[in-house]
Structure 1
Amino acid sequence: MLKIRDDIYREEGQLNMLPKKKRTKLVEYKIKKCFNALRDNLFSSEEEFIGYVNSMKDPKDAELFLDLCEFYSTFKELKGYPYIKLIAIISIIDKLNARKVKFKPFKDWVLSKEGGNYIKEYLSKVSVNDEVKKFKEVFKKLREKHGEIFGSQRSVIKFFENYCSVNDQVKLIRAFKFKRTAVVERYSQNYTWCPSDVRSIEDLQKKYRNQYKVEKRYMPECYDWRYCWVEGRTCNSSKCRLIENHHYRKEILGKIVSFIYQMRNDFIHGAKIPPIIKRPQEVDTLTIAGKIGDEYGIINLSIEDIQEIFERGFKKYFDKLSTEPLIK
């Protein structure tokens, strides 16, 4: 069996305070727990998992990877509680942002050299003669830049944008059905056998009443009756706008992830849980009645799907780590 690297957990206050033999056993236990959390989706053997940890150039990255895996495994092992598992996943993604960006309060950042550079830049670009209006505009831009650099919500959105595959992004977007609209099944103007001589879905229903059924449903934000092929409750179009248009997918994904992050905030800061529709046979299905902006709808996604999306992105994050050391 491949041995785990011996340069991790060496700092004071960590496992190095224990006798070497006991420390080794605890690290081995941690390795097993972490491997078991990811074995189904990412690693075929414990030796492969250890090899992956050993391949990380910075021991701090290896420690971060193992610590977050252990945290994740604790929640993954729970039976049920899909909402709690989702919040745990968002917390892990949030933590990853701290690897490269050490948080600074807005006041400290503005007074720093970096903040000063942005002040100079914005002062030179804001063409307003009124000093008060100019100050407000620069202040607004500084707030936005601070949020862009240090904002937790933005970092979570970036994780899903940068480390999740297109298929996983589309799967996530399609699970959020907040658009109540008229839907037609088995129809798409992407296919030549479907009639295209209609201007609206009402026109389609009128002209081809016996061929197409139209009804009101909750659908994903991206649904367009003209092009989206729907069967039952599922969008199955191979010519999906989400897949073909990167900018559109990014826009919709940002809305969805922002909503998920707000769920996390409501849970942590407001002690709130959205209405969860439970079915006895679906212990780990996350079926939630939620709201995006002024629109209510349904989120229906198994926690297994969410976990797989996260796990693939999580590993890709560590695959792409730069050689720069952690900020201390």
Structure 2
Amino acid sequence: MTTEDIRDDIFPNLQDTLLWRRNEEIKKYLEETQKCLERFFSSLANLIEYVNGFDRPEDVELLIEICRFYNIVKNFAQHPFLKFIMMISIFERLSCDKYLSFHDWLVVRQNRETLENKISEIVDYDSLIAVLNTWYKDYINVYGLKRNLLVFFKDNLTENEKIKLIRSFHVRRTKYIERAGYVLLKKAGRTHREYRSIEEYSNMESQPLDEKLLPYCYDWKNCYIEDGKCCPDVICRLKDNEEALDKEFNRIIGIIYDYRSMFVHRARSPPFNGNNLDFIIDVYDGRPIIIHLNLSELQEMLENPLKKHFDRLHTSSVTS
């Protein structure tokens, strides 16, 4: 498949001018897209075959626009945190087809009947606030960026990717026992009683206590720590408990969204850790926080859901 095989229905407003030729510009767009997604498309021909399989040209245009932005992220944002925040804006766009402000949502015609039914309940200030809160909750369920971001990541990250993201945020200073997993000792028959606290466990088992910033999900009864790091390959309570995984994942997405909002709306970023680009140290919600962001792992973790999103559009358009 060659560049002559590129579909001709994308970017219809892009026409030949004295400065550029339409076909050359579209080829350039696709070359940038292939470079962005080279993990998935080894050649331009592979990408052309892929984009030609979409039914809607708008989906191809969105893929190209997203990848052009992502190339800027990869090539010009040097710090993993900046890359991460910029990539969040990509997923915000993908997670909601069309954004409406709360005001615009209130005045659109299709909501008129629903809103009119509630107006009769407004008899004083308190009832006004109650109705507004109800409307805002309904609005957030559809257009809330935080909620849509959470749904997008839940739908597109694997269990291991979610756990890896959770473990990247060390935000709770807590006591732990090195190289000792209470649940493992119980299974091995080396612990013969239930302990009410980690202090009691430490005293009775003659295990020294350490203290360190650990992920929110750390549980001294169900986690194994070595060299100050949790070891999910040994044991991980999140792998056995979907409810616990959802709770901790929701919490981390909330932190990510807060950082995104601080960066976008308040021009605030966490202090960079000198020349070490793999982690940042900051204060979040009045407490110290360490965020580990390995660049290669981060890009892989975020490129996969990007590709999955368009695969679903591609598959549905082919099979419909």
Q: TM over 0.5, yes or no?
A: yes
Contact persistence 2:162–2:249 (CA under 8 A): yes
**1:257 alignment counterpart:** 253
How far does residue 323 in structure 1 lie from its aligned partner after superposition? 5.4
**2:280 alignment counterpart:** 287
Q: Quick one: which amino acid aligns to residue 261 of structure 2?
A: N
Q: Quick one: which amino acid aligns to residue 200 of structure 2?
A: D
How far does residue 301 in structure 1 lie from its aligned partner after superposition? 1.7
Q: Quick one: which amino acid aligns to residue 269 of structure 2?
A: I
Contact persistence 1:153–1:261 (CA under 8 A): yes
Contact persistence 1:242–1:249 (CA under 8 A): yes
Deviations 1:183-229 (A, max 9, x none): 122222432125252222111211122xx342001111110010111
Moved more, 151-160 or 173-182: 151-160
Once the two structures are aligned, what percentage of the paired residues are identical?
28
The answer on 1:8 being equivalent to 2:10 is yes
Q: Quick one: which amino acid aligns to residue 134 of structure 2?
A: K
**1:181 alignment counterpart:** 174
**2:300 alignment counterpart:** 308
Contact persistence 1:86–1:303 (CA under 8 A): no
Select which of 99, 102, 109 maps to 2:105: 109
**2:225 alignment counterpart:** 230
Uncovered stretches (5+) of structure 2, i.e. residues with no partner: none
Q: Secondary structure at the match of 2:238?
A: helix
Q: Sort the Cα spacing of 1:117 and 1:225 in 2 relative to 1 into closer, same or farther, 3 A.
A: farther
Select which of 285, 295, 309 maps to 1:317: 309
The answer on 1:204 being equivalent to 2:196 is no
Select which of 93, 96, 109 maps to 1:95: 93
Q: Secondary structure at the match of 1:104?
A: coil
Q: Sort the Cα spacing of 1:18 and 1:63 in 2 relative to 1 into closer, same or farther, 3 A.
A: farther
Q: Quick one: which amino acid aligns to residue 78 of structure 2?
A: G
Contact persistence 2:270–2:280 (CA under 8 A): no
How far does residue 278 in structure 1 lie from its aligned partner after superposition? 2.7
Q: Sort the Cα spacing of 1:120 and 1:186 in 2 relative to 1 into closer, same or farther, 3 A.
A: farther
How far does residue 148 in structure 1 lie from its aligned partner after superposition? 2.2
**1:248 alignment counterpart:** 244
Deviations 1:135-166 (A, max 9, x none): 32221111122122112222222221111111
Q: Secondary structure at the match of 1:240?
A: coil
How far does residue 132 in structure 1 lie from its aligned partner after superposition? 4.4
Q: Sort the Cα spacing of 1:270 and 1:205 in 2 relative to 1 into closer, same or farther, 3 A.
A: same
**1:146 alignment counterpart:** 139
Select which of 31, 44, 47 maps to 1:46: 44
Q: Sort the Cα spacing of 1:132 and 1:21 in 2 relative to 1 into closer, same or farther, 3 A.
A: closer
**1:299 alignment counterpart:** 291
Q: Secondary structure at the match of 1:179?
A: strand
The answer on 1:37 being equivalent to 2:39 is no
Q: Sort the Cα spacing of 1:180 and 1:319 in 2 relative to 1 into closer, same or farther, 3 A.
A: same
How far does residue 305 in structure 1 lie from its aligned partner after superposition? 1.7
Contact persistence 2:172–2:213 (CA under 8 A): yes
Contact persistence 1:122–1:141 (CA under 8 A): no
The answer on 1:162 being equivalent to 2:132 is no
Contact persistence 1:243–1:249 (CA under 8 A): yes
The whole-number CA distance in structure 1 between the counterparts of 2:311 and 2:192 is: 46
Contact persistence 1:277–1:289 (CA under 8 A): no
Contact persistence 2:280–2:291 (CA under 8 A): yes
